[in-house]
Chains A and B, each alone.
Chain A
Amino acid sequence: MAILEVQALSKRFEELEVLRQIDFSLEAGEALSIIGSSGSGKTTLLRCLNFLETPDAGRVLVHGETVFDAAETKKLSEAALRRRRLHFGLVFQNFNLFPQYTALENVRLAGLLLAKERPDFREKRKEIVAELNERAMFLLTDMGLADRAGHYPHQLSGGQQQRVAIARALALEPDILCFDEPTSALDPELTGEVLRVIRSLAEQRTTMIIVTHEMAFARDVADRAIFMDGGVIVEQGPAKEVIDHPREERTRQFLSRYGGLS
């Protein structure tokens, strides 16, 4: 069974239809890249999955369980919404690290706040905090940032900040990790370190959706690719096919404009 199923998702801002009848699914351990020009709806799609926007129509299922249904009229409680959104993690284009916390604190904060709601938090406080610290440190080490754990965001390069942000998203162990143009805000010489991290996550079979303008990366790292234009999915399939041998004319035009790929 697919880990994620998106059914007929639609979203409009006033008169503008940003997403029209989006359908796709994702298997566990699969990496999916979403490509398309600016304004094609890629980012809105990720924001809908992460409950930052509310779709006007459609459904989202995770592990076969409905986490969003536009037909569901009653408003969810904050607690229910939180439980559902924790299926997803999101890495933003411009990192959005919390500036007043160190790298380690950034990674640990959300987990700590969740742990505080556990009934046994008071008695086991020390163990829980130690565990969270250890986990955060493990993730930072994995990102190659062990020696930066005590640094504040402004003391880190863009590439380092984005890797902290990835560790922060991973700390909550989301079922599906989403990346919204993770290297677009970086200087060209810093994109490599972030792409390497995402590549290694793909090798560990992390379920991911990656919105990106890095075509070679989208092709090599992702198992499947979706090309979006004007709020619809124009073409989807194995990443290598969609990017190297697109069937649709619109996909071909887009790829030729992005250049570099035959």
Chain B
Amino acid sequence: MIGTVLGALNQGFLKTLQLFGVTLLGAIPLGLLISFGSMSKFQPLRWLTRTVVWIVRGTPLMLQLIILYYVPGQIMDASPWPMGENGRFLASAIAFIFNYACYFSEIFRGGIEGVPKGQREAGQVLGMTRGQIFFRVELMQMVKRIVPPISNEIITLVKDTSLARIIAYEELIKAGYDFLKGSHGYSGLLWPLFFTGVYYLLFSGLLTIAFNKTERRLDYFKV
């Protein structure tokens, strides 16, 4: 029994990891792009970006998932999403990437705006180009500022992936819960559900260690 349960949970955890990884890969660059939009000198773009960020951060991710996955099929003749698990993964990934990109964009904006203006000016009077100022002067200070808040968001993301269950994506919690209502010939099993918590704890524990290491590696200077 244990082997069967662990096999199923591992399978679910793999799906959780996939959603986690894809979200990070997509949300970091998209977040940077959105942060540029929210700092744009072109006012309509700035307002548009900030309104979108407000809506995405101001409504539940679960609602966004449901709308994205089910509503297009209601409006159009057929659902635009591929059949089955692929479609559910794709919809989840898009909702998660967009949602997290909006959170990340605010952190990036804070990091960029937090670098004192004097740093850029010092670079300018020393004859540095814009690119040199960004990469040689501002970037590291930005990174140092955003590591703690980004770490926080990433830990939250580990657990938020379970929201994809609402559109029946077969992530870790769904795998555990299925043993309660009948799966692989077992039903009424409570412990697999509890045991999913161990996966989350271990994974977020590993991430915490990695983030602490990163922070310590940036300890050599102060901003």
Contact = CB atoms under 8 A, between A and B. Distances in A.
Contacts of B61: none
Interface stretch (B22-30, B132-140, B148-156, B191-199): B132-140
A2 interface: no
B134 to A, nearest CB: 13
A96 B127 contact: no
A153 B119 CA distance: 13
Contacts of A52: 121, 124-125
B122 A92 contact: yes
15 contacts: A52-B125, A78-B129, A78-B130, A86-B127, A96-B119, A96-B122, A97-B122, A99-B141, A99-B222, A100-B144, A100-B220, A109-B136, A110-B128, A154-B221, A154-B222
Contacts, number: 66
Given A96-B119, A100-B141, A152-B221, 14 more contacts: A50-B125, A51-B124, A51-B125, A52-B125, A82-B129, A85-B125, A86-B127, A98-B122, A101-B221, A109-B136, A110-B128, A113-B132, A113-B136, A154-B222
Contact of A99 (B124, B127, B132, B223): B223
Interface of A: 50-52, 78, 82-83, 85-86, 88-90, 92, 94, 96-101, 109-110, 113-114, 152-154, 168-169, 172
Given A96-B116, A99-B222, A100-B140, A90 B128 contact: no
Interface of B: 116, 118-119, 121-130, 132, 136-137, 140-141, 144, 220-223
A110 B126 contact: yes
Contacts of B124: 50-52, 85
A82 B130 CA distance: 11
Contacts of B128: 82, 110, 113
B220 A152 contact: yes
B141 to A, nearest CB: 7
B118 A168 contact: no
B125 A90 contact: yes
Contacts of A83: 127
Please provide the 8 A-B residue pairs with the shortest distance between their CB atoms, ordered closest to farther: A110-B126, A96-B122, A96-B118, A154-B222, A90-B125, A100-B221, A82-B127, A100-B140
B125 A89 contact: yes
A207 B122 CA distance: 20
Nearest to B118: A96
Contacts of B220: 100, 152
A154 B222 CA distance: 6
Contacts of B137: 98
Nearest to B130: A78
Contacts of B140: 100
Contacts of B118: 92, 94, 96
A66 B87 CA distance: 65
Contacts of B141: 99-100
Q: B127, B144, B223 — which one has the most chain A CB atoms within 10 A of its CB?
A: B127
A154 to B, nearest CB: 4
Contacts of B119: 96, 98
B221 A172 contact: no
A172 B122 contact: no
B126 A172 contact: yes
B130 A172 contact: no
B121 A92 contact: yes
A168 B221 contact: no
A92 B120 CA distance: 12
Q: B116, B130, B137, B223 — which one has the most chain A CB atoms within 10 A of its CB?
A: B137
A119 B223 CA distance: 35
Contacts of B223: 99
A168 B119 CA distance: 13
